[in-house]
A and B are shown apart, each in its own frame.
Chain A
């Protein structure tokens, strides 16, 4: 269980992080407890997220790894990357309601009233 701590402390070394994630995921996955199975899915998502974030980092020249899914979407919208934001949204099945909230927040932050009116 504390395997997870190792990973979260690791800085930008993505390979190491992923390795640690995988270890802890296995740990949870082999557990008989149903709760732990759920947890292992969360970690799986996290690995996917960080891979995607890494990709974004190389494409967009900005830091992404380490922030949450909602924050990633928020950041992408403020960077005018609506398409990428959409793809993250569908990848992780973000509920509509939350996505709207993020979008409204991001757009009003940018004072992009035109886009906001389109809702």
Chain B
């Protein structure tokens, strides 16, 4: 399950090891064997850090998901949770119930990343504060892959922009300080957006307050900070890379996708398959859903994850032929040494074979969706909105979606895309859409629409639209795209180049952002370029045999397709650098607006 991340670019294992140590220390606050009760939202994340063996080593031999009821015979219970008031009430319930039944137990709560006053207050008022050993587990950066790191703060975008809450920005700054302590001060910083500016200011202040700095030679040569709200267009479009589509259709959480068991477990040993932890909780009678890990340690996956879906079938086919050829080779080879060589590689080929079988199944299921007329019509509408043509057709399609009561997320994504590509929606049209949405999906969406308007995701058309000039100057629509062997990042969306990644692409050019000054002015938030003075003693002895590394920080989330586009850039010769991607959350259009959609009962 845990990806191997001792990457060729930057050694990220040390980040994980440090978190693992801290986790171990937090769990060990209670001595002896104990039950570990985990926040459902954290389980997947903790799985990326530590395997069951490690947790058992810390004495946590029983592990549960946190629920309103608890059923364990362990004498010691360690809760590991995000600081949410709801959980405090659940936990208080457990303690009181145990007390009523005359059970004597020891309790501890580990807060991730740290306890809030509100949570402590709840425990105090319930009169159970004294029963707990309370500690913090400052989990911040979680490595997801060789080149992807995330803080997994789901609501940071909303918290800052809607509620004016800067806590998550503080975590962003802290995470950068941590990286700089490990890999050296990053000399060049470029940024765009309000959040980026604030984070930069925080870093400068934190460096001053720290006084003395460690003198690690800088391994990362530049940092690019980008706010999500300078590009709200890209996440609203349907991702068309393999990984992106898996995320759009099945949703990827913490590097894993939940699939029907008959896909993941090889047919011959289905009976003996060990039941994994999350699946045992799912209701019986139905087909079990089991998590399937997705990361670059899976050789087949690492080759196909970033490709456009249209070329996928061909690739899978070729791969299958390769493996078949290898199996056939056995019949021809007769000499002992040849057989020995053959056997050496056999295991890895069998692994590839299995993974290929699973990915073919996934591809089949995706094809079922992408072949449907509704899906194609949706893509067409997106492309029309991006290109700024056939607006009436797009409007009619959105109306139809509402009439058919398609998922609300889909409708809102299209409306946001419409608004952000056309600098707003005509007032009359907007009022019409609002009424349709509310009458169809219920009145709680009065609030949803209010949220979206406050964030500027949906707005009334006012000025002359600025998107056409941005589209032209940044060459966002690529007509002569070669899908077989892509020549531009636009392949990730079959013809549309993600705005965010275009900005990164220009930032690393010799003249940088200066040549697109006019465009940057049209996007929200300040633009800045700064040079961080290196601490004395830290010399720039970047090894010349290695490409320079740029850290790209997406504040407010990044999609899988954008990651694919950046990987594509680093493979291009002209870029001649590697990218490490850090974000507050891995998102897609649905998850991005998820915490803006208000639902009651």
Chain A positions within 8 Å of B, measured between CB atoms, are 1, 4-5, 8-9, 11, 35, 38-39, 42-43, 45-46, 49, 66-71, 92, 94-95, 97-98, 101-102, 105
Q: CB distance B439 to A38 under 8 Å?
A: no
* Residue numbers in B under 8 Å from A35 (CB-CB): 453
A94 vs B431: C-alpha distance when bound (angstroms): 14
Q: Would A70 and B446 be within 8 Å (CB), given that A42-B435, A97-B399 are in contact?
A: no
Nearest-neighbour CB distance to chain A for B444, whole angstroms, equals 5
Is B438 interfacial (CB 8 A cutoff)? yes
* Residue numbers in B under 8 Å from A11 (CB-CB): 601
| B497-523 interface code vs A (CB 8 A; 1 in, 0 out) | 000000000000000000000000000
Q: CB distance B440 to A39 under 8 Å?
A: no
Closest residue of chain B to A68, judged by CB? B442
Partner of B447, one of A4, A66, A92: A4
Q: CB distance B442 to A67 under 8 Å?
A: yes
Partner of A8, one of B434, B453, B600: B600
Which residues in chain B, 575-601, are within 8 Å of chain A measured between CB atoms?
A: 598, 600-601
Partner of A101, one of B403, B441, B453, B598: B403
Most-contacted residue by chain B among A11, A38, A49 (CB, 10 A) = A38
Partner of B443, one of A38, A68, A95: A68
Nearest-neighbour CB distance to chain A for B59, whole angstroms, equals 42
Q: CB distance B434 to A70 under 8 Å?
A: no
Q: Would A70 and B440 be within 8 Å (CB), given that A35-B453, A43-B446, A97-B403 are in contact?
A: yes
Partner of A66, one of B436, B439, B446, B601: B601
- The B interface is mostly helix, strand or loop, or mixed, namely helix
Is B404 interfacial (CB 8 A cutoff)? yes
Q: CB distance B434 to A38 under 8 Å?
A: yes
* Residue numbers in B under 8 Å from A1 (CB-CB): 450
Is B75 interfacial (CB 8 A cutoff)? no
Q: CB distance A9 to B600 under 8 Å?
A: yes
A114 vs B16: C-alpha distance when bound (angstroms): 65
Is B402 interfacial (CB 8 A cutoff)? yes
* Residue numbers in A under 8 Å from B440 (CB-CB): 68-71, 98
* Residue numbers in B under 8 Å from A95 (CB-CB): 436
| B396-430 interface code vs A (CB 8 A; 1 in, 0 out) | 00010011110000000000000000000000000
10 shortest interchain CB distances as A-B pairs: A68-B442, A101-B403, A8-B600, A69-B439, A70-B440, A46-B443, A98-B403, A42-B446, A8-B444, A42-B438
| B85-100 interface code vs A (CB 8 A; 1 in, 0 out) | 0000000000000000
Partner of A68, one of B441, B453, B598, B600: B441
Nearest-neighbour CB distance to chain B for A92, whole angstroms, equals 6
Partner of A92, one of B402, B439, B453: B439
A69 vs B404: C-alpha distance when bound (angstroms): 14
Nearest-neighbour CB distance to chain A for B216, whole angstroms, equals 48
Nearest-neighbour CB distance to chain A for B118, whole angstroms, equals 17
> What's the A-B contact tally at a CB cutoff of 8 Å?
58
A97 vs B443: C-alpha distance when bound (angstroms): 21
* Residue numbers in A under 8 Å from B450 (CB-CB): 1, 39
Closest residue of chain A to B599, judged by CB? A8
Q: Would A70 and B601 be within 8 Å (CB), given that A38-B434, A92-B439, A98-B436 are in contact?
A: no
* Residue numbers in B under 8 Å from A70 (CB-CB): 405, 439-440
Q: CB distance B446 to A4 under 8 Å?
A: yes
Nearest-neighbour CB distance to chain B for A16, whole angstroms, equals 14
* Residue numbers in B under 8 Å from A68 (CB-CB): 438-443
| B309-343 interface code vs A (CB 8 A; 1 in, 0 out) | 00000000000000000000000000000000000
* Residue numbers in B under 8 Å from A92 (CB-CB): 439
Partner of B404, one of A4, A38, A67, A101: A101
Most-contacted residue by chain A among B435, B447, B453, B601 (CB, 10 A) = B435
* Residue numbers in B under 8 Å from A101 (CB-CB): 403-404
A105 vs B405: C-alpha distance when bound (angstroms): 10
Which residues in chain B, 429-481, are within 8 Å of chain A measured between CB atoms?
A: 431, 434-436, 438-444, 446-447, 450, 453
Q: List 27 A-B contacts (CB under 8 A).
A: A8-B444, A8-B598, A11-B601, A38-B431, A38-B434, A39-B446, A42-B435, A45-B438, A49-B443, A66-B442, A66-B601, A67-B442, A68-B438, A68-B439, A68-B441, A68-B442, A69-B439, A70-B439, A70-B440, A71-B440, A95-B436, A97-B399, A97-B403, A98-B402, A98-B403, A98-B436, A105-B404
A68 vs B405: C-alpha distance when bound (angstroms): 11
A9 vs B447: C-alpha distance when bound (angstroms): 13
A49 vs B446: C-alpha distance when bound (angstroms): 15
A63 vs B440: C-alpha distance when bound (angstroms): 17
A38 vs B453: C-alpha distance when bound (angstroms): 13
* Residue numbers in B under 8 Å from A67 (CB-CB): 442
Closest residue of chain B to A95, judged by CB? B436
Closest residue of chain A to B440, judged by CB? A70
Nearest-neighbour CB distance to chain A for B165, whole angstroms, equals 16
Most-contacted residue by chain A among B434, B439, B442, B453 (CB, 10 A) = B439
A49 vs B442: C-alpha distance when bound (angstroms): 11
Nearest-neighbour CB distance to chain A for B426, whole angstroms, equals 14
A43 vs B431: C-alpha distance when bound (angstroms): 14
